Structures are given as C-alpha cells and as structure tokens.
Amino acid sequence: MNVSGTKIGLTVLVVLCLAMSVVHRAIVQPPECDTIEIRLSFWGSYEEWSMWKEIVDGFEAENPDITVTIMYTPGNYDDKIRLLLAADAAPDVMLLQDEPFPRYASYGKLADVTDWAYASRTAQEWDALFWPTAAQSFRYKGRVYGVPIWGGNVLVYYNRKMFREMGVEPPSDDWTFDEFVAKGKELTRDTDGDGRFDTFGFALPGWWVYFMPWTYGFGARYLNDDFTDWAFTDDKALEATRFYQDLRFKDRISPTMHDLPNTDESVMFMTGRIGMSVSGPWNSPPLKTAGIDFDVVHVPTGPVGKRFTRVTWDAVCIFDKSPHKEEAWRFVEYCIGYEAQAVVGRYIRSVPALRAASDAFMDPDNGWNEEKFIEAMDYSTLQPITINWEKMSDVIAAEYELLLLNKQSPEDTIRNMAEGMRRDEVFPITNGS
Amino acid sequence: MARKNKIRERYRWHENVQGYLFAAPWLLGFALFLVGPMLFSMTLCVVKWNGITPISPDNIDFVGLAHFKKIFTEDNYFWTSLYNTAFYSLFSVPLGICTSLFLATLLNAKIRGISIYRTIFYLPKVIAGVATIMMWFWIFNPEFGGFNVVLRKIGIVALGDGLLEHIPALGAFFERNQITWPPAWLADEFWAKPALIIMSLWGAGGGMLIYLAGLQNIPAHLYEVAELDGAGRIRQFFVITVPMLTPTIFFNLIMSIIGSFQVFAQSFLMTDGGPNNATLFYVLYLFRKAFQQFEMGYASALAWILFAIIMALTMVVLKSSKLWVYYEGEKR
Amino acid sequence: MSAGHVSFWQRRSTQDRVWKILTISLLCLLALVFVAPFYWSLIASVSDLDGVYASPPRFWPEKLHLDNYPRAMTVLPFHIFVFNSFYVCICCVTGQVLSACLVAYAFARMRWAGRDVWFVIMLSTMMLPKQVTMIPHYIIFLNLGWVNTLKPLIVPSFFGGGAFFIFLMRQFFKTIPLELEEAARLDGCSNFRIFWDIMLPLSAPAVATISVMSFIAHWQDFMGPLIYLSSFEKYTVSMGLRMFQSIYGSFPHYMLAASNITLIPVLILFFLAQKYFVQGIVLTGMKG
C-alpha cells in the first residue's frame, strides 16, 4: 500500500520534534540535582552575561557542590528585584548599583555580611582591598551589606581621527576648563559653507551625573559633607550651572536640537561630527567594535585647582532570607578574588573593584590609554547618593533639562532645584544612613 | 421495535463518544486555555495582586470595582492609550482596505508577469515581524533613513518648506506645536502615529489576496451587461465590483479592527510608547501594567475593557452590515 | 450606441489599451514603492558605519561590506536563536496540524450531540483578543514552573491548533466526496481508520497550507517569547533581534544584517511553498 504524502510529512514532523527536543535539552543544560543551588541575578548586555558565565564556571569548577543558576533580567531590573524582595522570593545573590543601594538596604532584606567580610581581615584591610570609594558605597548604618565587584569613573573621550583630520592638537592631561572650551571651539566648524555648524566640539551629557567633573571642578557641591542636606545653592553652583548652559548656547561647542537633528550623540561621536564626549570604560567596547580611532584623556582642571570625576560601583548583595547564605557568601568571596576580578578586567567594560586586579584591566597593545581610568581613581569622588537618590535625581534632571533648552536661566535653575528638594521632601534627611 | 431502538441508541451513544473524542483536543484546550483563564481573569479584575507571590489571602486583596473606577476616573494613560489606539485604527483600517482593494484590482489585470507583482506586494506580510520593524525603524530615521532621503530627492521637503513659508497659518501651527519638517517621524509626537500607519500599509498585501480571490469570483457576465449599458470602467467598479465584494470587505473589516486594536510590537520596539506617549497603545499600556509593574488585577481589568470595546465595535459593524453588505441571491 | 464614426478615444480598443498602460505603470510604481524598504535595508546592511551615516545619504554604498553578516551572527549566538525558533515552529506546526485535523474531522463528518453549537462557539473564539487570557496563562505557567522554558509556546498548539486552522480544515474536509466515506463505512471502517486512511491522505494541499501558515506565524511571534523567556539559551529570533537592538541599536548596518539573516528561512519557505500561501489566504476569504 502506498503511503500518502501527508502521512510522510506528519511522520517527518514528529521525528524532527523529538530530535530537536533532545538537542534543545543539551543546549539548555538543566542543573544537576544533588548540589546546592544558589541563584544569581543581574542585568546588562550579552557581554556582561558572558562575563558572569565565565565567573560562574570558574566558581563551579572550584566548588563542585554548588550550582549557580543565572537569572538574567534585561529590563526593569529594579521593579523585578523590588517585587521579589517584597515577596521574600528574591535570588540568593543580587547585583545592585550604588545609586539605589541605600534604598535597597533600607528595605531590611539584604543580609548583613560584616562579620563574614571582617572574618579574616580588619575593617581597614577590607576597605583597602578595593578602590577608595568602593567599599564605602555599600555600607549602610556602618554595617557592610554589599560587596563591590566592579565600577567605573568617567573621562573625556575624543575622536582621534577627527582631531587629526581637522588639524587640532589632542588635549593634554593637565588641561584646564578654559583650554577645554578652546579645544571645543577649534572643532566647531562650518565645513560645507552653508552658514551652519556641521561639526561640534563636545557632546553635552544628557544625564547630569556625567557633568560632575565640571560641576565639582568649580568647587560646587550638591550635598553637604554628611549627605543630609542640599548644598547646591552658592555662587560656585551658579558658576557651574552657567558654564553648563554656555557650552551649548554661548560657546557653542555643543549642538542644539536644531543644529544636528539626529540627536543620538554616540552616533555623532562615532561618525566624527562631535569631537569629544564624556563617559566611562563601558563606552569603549562599542567604539572598538565600530572601529573608531579614539582615546581618553583626564578631565580638565577647574578654577578650584584640582581635578574631580564621578565614580560608580556595582556590588553583589546577599538576600537576607536566602536558605543558602553560607554558599552565597562563598560565591561572593570568589567574585572578589583575583581570578574573577581578572575576568572583569579583561572585558574592559568596567574597572575591577579589587585593586590588585588592575593589571588585568590594562592592555598595552590595544591602541588607547585605558590605564587612565585606573589613574583617575585617585581623584574620583562619590556621587551624592542618599536614600532619596531617585527623587533627587528627578528634580535635578527636570531643572537641567529646562536649562539646556535655554528655557530657564542658571539663577532660576538653582533656585528651582532647591525649592524642589524641599517640596518633594528630598532634603533634609533626618534619619541617617 | 424496542430492540431496534436500543441498537440505534447504542449507535448514537457510540457516535457521540467518538465525536467528542476526536474533538477532545480542542474541547480540552477550550476549557484549559480559554474558559478557565477567562474566569480566572474575571476574578483577577477585582483583586490586587502582583502575580508573583503565591496565591494566599496575605498576598491578594479583594478590591471590588476599584480598578475600574480608577481606570475611568483617574487614569490618564488609559485615555491616552485608548485615543492613540483608536486613532491608529481609524486610519490604518480604512486606508488598509482601500489599498488592498486597489492593489487587488490592479492585479486582476491580465498582464504578463503578474505573479511577480503579486509576490512583491504579498511578501511584506509574509516576513512581518521583528526584522521588518527594525527595517522600518531605520527607514524612518529623520536624517539618514530612506523615507526622508526620498522625500528630499523628489522635492516634497522643499515643497513643504515652501508651504510653511507662504502659508503663515500653517507655519505658525507647526511652530506652535513644535512639529518638525522634514518630519522627524518616530521622534516627533505629531508624526509618530502616521509613521506607524504608513508602516501598516506596507502589509496591505494580505488583504489584497483575499480581494483578488473575490474579484475572480465575480461573474463576468455582470460586466458584459454593464458595458452594453454604456457604463465606463470606473462606474463598473463602483456599481458592480465593490457591492459584490462587500461580504469579503465585511469580514476583513472586522478582522482588521480586531487586529489594529492589538497593535503592540511596533511601539514596544521602536518608540517604547513615546515620544511623550504619542505611541502608547492600549496593549502596550496593558503589557506594562502586567509585566513591568506587576499589577495583575489592574491589567486584567484593562484587558476586559479592551474586549468590551472590540465587541462593541464588532456589533456596530455587524448591525450596520445589513445596510451595505450585499449577499448574492438576496432580493434588493 | 449611435451608429457611425466613433472617435479614436471612444473606441473600445483604445480605451482598453489606455487602461492597460495605466495599470502597468501603476503596478510598476507601486512595486517600486513596496520594494524600496527592502532595498534600503540591504544597502545599509552592506555598508560600514560611515557609509550608513553619510551626509548626504548615499543610494549605493562605496564598498560592499558583506562581512557585516558573519560579524552580526557571531556577536550574539544567533545559531542558538535560530535553532530555538525552528524547534518551536516545528513542534507547533506538528501540534497544530495534528490536532486541527482531528478536530476538524469531528466537525466536518461526524455526528455528535452539540456539534453545531460547539462549532459556532469555536468560530466566535476567533474574535477574542488574546490579551484577555494572556495574564491568566502567564500565572498558570508560572505556577507550573514553565516560565523561562519553551513549553508555554509549544504546548497550547497541541490543543486544537486554533479555531482558524480547524475552520480551514473543516471546510476542506467537507469538499471530500461523501461516497468515499460511505464506501469505507460499508466495509466496516471505524471513524479513525476513515480519518487516517482517507481524509488525511487526500488533504495534502490543505495540510501543507496550514503548515506553512503556522510556521510563519510562530516564527514571527514576539509577544509569547517576550513574556516567557528570560535566558539567552532559550531565546527565539525575535527576542534575539531585540537583544541585538539593545546592544547594537546605534549600528544600523549590523542591526539590519542580523534582521535580514532571520528572514532567510521564511523567504526560502515562501518561495518553495508560494502556492500554498496564496491558497491559504484564498481559503480565508471564502468565508466572507
């Protein structure tokens, strides 16, 4: 009897299904059942996932009794983690940023790891393991709740090819704010003779935190010394704010919406339309992929005579109600060990928190001076992080936005920020952190 | 006689069992994946729950009709998203039907190589998905994307500049509402939805094939009679073709309305609801509420409201169909 | 029609020719318009960064960078994404075809109590927006532990395959001559034998049609993977492209190269099975 086409087709389909499910099982690799499973959650791109995978593989090789399950959340990490914490279903180990850290710690769901951290070291030794601001960022009320694993500060990136083609000298490391503006002006030109500028000197950062090198360089501070009250109200603050606005509207080294309609500044930097930008080490991999000839230089020095830049850290924290806190701590210890930190360094997306692993970050043959990020740790200062970071950031961002659209004067900006802090009950903070 | 009845009964019973057995996959699916979830969804509407925490009285709060009240009285995003979706539907559905019909009419001609054209027009529908969304994202790039490049090349941008200059009212209107020219498409509040509507027209090939099949089913003698009566091509179209196609148009209209109200991927991937919520569509808002803010009860309420709206529109079209849908064999 | 001389422009043959020219030119123009997006996408995908962001934009790249394609594939593990998509599609097609045929036979040829009522109910489910059941589905699958697996994408296909395909198959089954079935019954064939040995073999065209339609629909599916998948190893191509966008969104040449790659299987299937596509859509329209 002849077999019909349909039946052949269906049989083929069923066989394919079964075959593919076997292969799929092999790709996905469910965990073995007789080990302790700890869950690790983080966000980020595929490269960060690869980095974690390497670290996890290294850890599992040394600790065969523990399996680490990766919970990768590309979007809305904050919402998800907050929910899981509230539901007491949080992963054992969580990657958290420094900016929302005080808020997370205040929920009371993070494990206090001070005793483990200081088990074989003194408090000073613990701090000294890492870069100056790192350990500090993850203490809450004097106790250690997070262990820093990587971070980065920001420097000025410049497009070497664009500088060369326009005949402009690359900036030197000890340049001042005035020299910075002058360099920007050299790059701002009308190249096709139509009366409008086509290239610009500096990509004005949209997010205010990236402008901190200049703000601090004027001697202005956002908060007072113990981070309990708003302090961005004096003349220095005014000078810094005016400088921010002038870059775009007076000195014209930064484009407005009308100058370059496609306002994606990273694209403008990459295609040689904007000469300088400010960013951290995480900006370098995409530039490398795109084959851009770039380099970094230390931030310019302001009127106050010293250099400042912002630094941000990410840490791993343990969930207080995790059933496997000991094993989670073993993983955390591994993460700040040399092996794991060297993995971080090699990817050059972030600076490893462990000072001893800096050599892994530096690659003398890659054509640019990434070691400056390490050098800049000397003058990196903490961001104004408090338990009300998000609210504060919203107020600041709203006022700066108006400033940078030329819809508000620097004086009004400063005043409205201070008012906003009072109105939204951001400052003063009275219950200490 | 009784024995015959018994045999018949047993046969009947046997047939029923077999029937249900064969239909079991769908019946099970209906219960498990449709009716059950629908009932579940209805109960979700009246509680507050994040969906992640285990089902227990601690984690779920009964709130009655509070969600619905909030939706209708306090929630601006609801009204915005409804407006955006209705706008999109209002334009993309009729334009889509007209485009499909127009293409089908063209393709009905007996020209050599017609199947190549048919392939070209139908292909976009086939490959629709994330890939084509990325494609259009690039095309709508204000400075480098194909759309504006072509607009500039053929002088429409210059024409528009001229119009804006010489018609002060228009210029002022654009100025006041910060509307860009040349259009910044997905980056401009005003142009974002039109951009998505244009994108949907590219997929008009799907409906086109249906109309084509319908066109080929129209008896030729109708046209012959019309010609003898002296009707020109255009008149023939409106007097014969369109009425004969109304059943197909009717079906298509309903399916298009239902489909257009569920627009999601384009705004999720390209604009994330922006700029300034101009492309915040209903399903995107629902998605955010459910899977980003984890408010399952609220999102379920939104889903049912969507269902109600779609049902209402379908009813309207259905009721109105008596007026304009012409089934062959009916007396007029 | 008056007798006598008819002017050139009133002559039927002239009018026919004019319409023909008009139709052809419109077709050409529209074809150009419809092809243009593909063209732009292809051009951009073989340019380099400077070519893509050239000012003024170019209609033809200076140099063809065909290596964009292999690079786009290696930056992310597209082979895994493509495999997962194939896996989901093949399983779904199998499930939908098998269950749709079974159920359609019940509606088409078997007599059972409530059949017509259920049929109407089934048809009306086509109008239900899936958002109503989306959230409960998620919660059910979450409690089953199936979130972040491919199971939620595959398993529902085995339960009937969707009202649309059931409807198509039922219409098709109804066109199979009753005599064949009656002859088989006289010979003592059970319902299943009739289904398996008569109905299915004769339905090859319709089965091919719904297979193709099902494959395409599942290949394109975005919301399902978006809701249920969060590990890289399980991503389908639609999630893979989204991931690609978040990393290389500013690099249109890579982004479009990656997008075009994911279109290849669909294009191949389309050109091989064009006939069935067209048939499928035609069958849809027949309902109206």
Report CA A49 to chain centroid distance, whole Å.
16
Closest residue in B to C274 (Cα–Cα): B119
The pLDDT of residue A1 is above 60 = no
Q: Which residues on B lie below 8 Å from A261 (Cβ)? A: 142-143, 180, 184
Can you read off the two tokens belonging to residue C134? 């989306």
Q: What is the DSSP string of C152-205?
A: HHHGGGGTT--HHHHHHHHHHHHTS-HHHHHHHHHTT--HHHHIIIIIHHHTHH
Q: Is the minimum CB–CB distance between C288 and chain B shorter than 8 Å?
A: yes
Residues A300-359: tens digit of each pLDDT:
999 998 999 999 999 999 999 999 999 999 999 999 999 999 999 998 889 999 999 988
Looking at residue A31, what is its pLDDT? Answer: 57
Bigger pLDDT: A34 vs A247: A247
Is some CB atom of chain C closer than 8 A to the CB atom of B63? no
Q: What is the mean pLDDT of the segment spanning B209-228?
A: 84
Ranges of each domain in chain C: 9-67, 69-286
What is the percent of chain A where pLDDT is above 90?
Answer: 47
User: Which of A2, A18, A24, A284 has the highest number of chain C CBs within 10 A, making it the mutation to test binding with C?
Assistant: A24
pLDDT tens sequence across C51-68: 888 777 777 887 888 888
pLDDT band with cut points at 50, 70 and 90 for residue A48:
confident
DSSP state of B34: I
CA distance C42 to chain B (A): 9
Task: Judge: A79–B294 Cβ closer than 8 Å, yes or no.
Answer: yes
* Least confident stretch, A243-252, A335-344, B107-116, C220-229: B107-116
- Quote the pLDDT of residue C287: 46
Alpha carbon C173 to its chain centroid, in Å, reads 22
Please report, rounded to a whole number, the percentage of residues in chain B having pLDDT higher than 70.
98
- Residue B169's alpha-carbon distances to B106, B163, B176, in angstroms, are 39, 10, 10
- SS3 label, residue C117: helix
- For the ranges A353-367, B221-235, C87-101, which has the lowest average pLDDT? B221-235
pLDDT at residue A413 in the model: 93
pLDDT of residue C179: 85
Q: What is the pLDDT of residue B229?
A: 82
Tell me the mean pLDDT in the region B135-152: 89
The Cα C50–Cα A268 span in angstroms is 11
Among C135, C166, C287, the strongest candidate for a mutation testing the B interface, having the largest count of B CBs within 10 A, is: C135
Span of A356-365, B2-11, B79-88 with lowest mean pLDDT: B2-11
Q: Does A20 touch chain C (CB under 8 A)?
A: yes
Tell me the C-alpha distance between B48 and A363, whole Å: 54
Percent of chain B scoring above 90 in pLDDT: 36
Q: Poorest-confidence range of A204-208, B96-100, C271-275? A: C271-275
Residues 289-348, chain A: which have Cβ within 8 Å of C?
Answer: 289-291
Give C 146-205 residues with CB within 8 A of chain A: 150, 200-204
Distances (CA, A) of C285 to B38, B126, B211, B216: 29, 17, 7, 12
Long-range contacts of C70-73 (CB under 8 A, 24+ apart): C71/C254, C71/C257, C72/C244, C72/C248, C72/C254, C72/C255, C72/C257, C72/C258, C72/C261, C73/C258, C73/C261
**Residue B308 forms contact with C (CB below 8 Å):** no
Compute the CA torsion angle A327, A332, A336, A341 (nearest 10 deg).
100
| Interface touch B180/A261, C-beta < 8 Å | yes
Q: Look at residue A160 and tell me whether its pLDDT is greater than 50.
A: yes
Question: C168 pLDDT exceeds 80?
Answer: yes
Domains and CATH numbers, chain A: 36-153+312-381 (3.40.190.10), 155-310+383-423 (3.40.190.10)
Measure the CA–CA gap between B206 and B200, rounded to whole angstroms.
11
pLDDT at A164: 92
Parallel, antiparallel, or unpaired for β A274-279 and A200-202? parallel
Which of A6, A17, A265, A274 should we substitute to test contact with C (largest number of C Cβ atoms within 10 Å)? A6
Span A284-309, mean pLDDT? 90
pLDDT band at B1; cut points 50, 70, 90: low
Q: Find the closest chain A residue to B143 by CA distance.
A: A262
Find the residue in B nearest to C269 (Cα). B126
Model confidence pLDDT, tens digit, residues A253-263: 998 877 776 55
Task: Measure the CA–CA gap between C99 and B195, rounded to whole angstroms.
Answer: 40
* CB < 8 Å to C107, chain B: 23
Å between B177 CA and nearest CA of chain A: 15
What is the per-residue pLDDT for A433? 42
Q: What is the structure's pLDDT at C91?
A: 93
Between these two residues, A9 and C285, which has the higher pLDDT value?
A9
Contact B132, C45 (CB under 8 A): no
Residue A37 dihedral angles phi and psi, to the nearest 5°: -105, 125
- Please write down the HEC assignment for all residues of chain A: CCCCHHHHHHHHHHHHHHHHHHHHHHHHCCCCCCCEEEEEEECCCHHHHHHHHHHHHHHHHHCCCEEEEEEECCCCHHHHHHHHHHCCCCCCEEEEECCCHHHHHHCCCECCCHHHHCCCCCHHHHHHHECHHHHHHCEECCEECEEEEEEEECEEEEEHHHHHHHCCCCCCCCCEHHHHHHHHHHHCECCCCCCCCCEEEECCCCCHHHHHHHHHHCCCCCECCCCCCECCCCHHHHHHHHHHHHHHHCCCCCCCCCCCCCCCHHHHHHCCCEEEEEECHHHHHHHHHCCCCEEEECCCECCCCCCCEEEEEEEEEEECCCCCHHHHHHHHHHHCCHHHHHHHHHHCCCEECEHHHHHHHCCCCCCCCCHHHHHHHHHEECCCCCCCHHHHHHHHHHHHHHHHCCCCCHHHHHHHHHHHHHHCCCCCCCCCC
Confidence of residue A171 (pLDDT cuts 50, 70, 90): very high
Nearest to B41 by CA among C133, C131, C138: C133
Shortest distance between the Cα of A239 and any Cα of chain B, in A, equals 31
Residues belonging to chain A with any Cβ–Cβ distance to chain B shorter than 8 Å: 75-76, 79, 83-84, 86-87, 89, 261-262
Phi-psi domain of A190 (left: phi exceeds 0; alpha: psi -120 through 50; beta: other): beta
Please indicate if any CB of chain A lies within 8 Å of the CB of C56: no
Which residues, other chains included, contact A279 with Cβ-Cβ below 8 Å and sequence gap of 6+?
Answer: A154, A155, A157, A210
Instruction: Please say if the pLDDT value at position B299 is more than 90.
Output: yes
pLDDT of res. A226: 85
For domain B68-142+183-324, the CATH architecture is Orthogonal Bundle (1.10)
How many angstroms separate the CA of residue B187 from the nearest CA in chain A?
9
Q: What is the pLDDT of residues B236-253, one digit of tens each?
A: 888 888 888 888 888 889
Asked if A158 and A294 count as a contact pair (C-beta separation under 8 A), the reply is yes
Mean pLDDT rounded to a whole number for chain A: 88
| Partners of chain C (3+ Cβ pairs below 8 A) | A, B
What percent of chain A clears pLDDT 70, i.e. is strictly above it?
A: 96
Asked if B126's CB is within 8 angstroms of C285's CB, the reply is: no
Which two tokens mark B164? 């804006």
Q: What is the pTM (predicted TM-score) of this model?
A: 0.86
Nearest by CB to residue B109, choosing from C23, C127, C262, is: C23
Give the residue on A whose Cα is nearest the Cα of B187: A262
C29 touching chain B per CB within 8 A: no
Q: Give the residue-averaged pLDDT of C113-136.
A: 88
- Which of A377-391, C53-67, C106-120 has the least mean pLDDT? C53-67
Dump pLDDT digits (tens) for A50-72.
899 999 999 999 988 898 888 88
Task: Give, as one character, the DSSP assignment of residue B62.
Answer: E
Cβ contacts of residue B132 below 8 Å, gap of 6+? B124, C37, C259
A84: which chain B residues are within 8 Å (Cβ-Cβ)? 52
C residues 206-265 closer than 8 Å to B (CB): 216, 219-220, 222-223, 226-227, 237-238, 241-242, 245, 252, 255-256, 259-260, 262-263
Q: Do strands A351-352 and A309-318 pair parallel, antiparallel, or not at all (unpaired)?
A: unpaired
Answer whether B241's CB lies under 8 Å from B218's CB: yes
pLDDT in the model for residue B331: 44
CA atoms of B139 and A308, how far apart (whole Å): 42
* Predicted confidence band of residue B201 (pLDDT cuts 50, 70, 90): very high
- Which amino acid, one-letter code, is at A154? V
- Contacting residues for C141 by C-beta, under 8 A, at least 6 apart: C147, C151, C152, C228
For domain C69-286, give the CATH superfamily: MetI-like (1.10.3720.10)
Supply angle C-alpha A210, A216, A218, rounded to 5: 125
Lowest mean pLDDT among A173-182, C65-74, C212-221: C65-74
Mean pLDDT, to the nearest integer, of C204-230? 88
Measure CB to CB from residue B50 to each of A76, A83, A262 and give the nearest one. A83
What is the tens place of the pLDDT at every residue in A297-316?
A: 999 999 998 999 999 999 99
- CATH 1.10.3720.10 in chain B is located at 68-142+183-324
State yes or no: pLDDT of A294 exceeds 90.
Answer: yes
**Best to test chain A binding among B49, B53, B288 (most A CBs inside 10 Å):** B53
Q: Is the Cβ pair C247, A45 closer than 8 Å?
A: yes
CB-based contact C98 A24, cutoff 8 Å = no
If you search the block for the tokens 């706008």, which residue do you land on? B87
Q: Please state, in angstroms and rounded to a whole number, the distance separating the CA atoms of residues B179 and B181.
A: 7
Q: Which residues pair with A296 in a beta bridge?
A: A157
Kindly state the average pLDDT of the residues C9-22.
79
A89 touches chain C (CB under 8 A): no
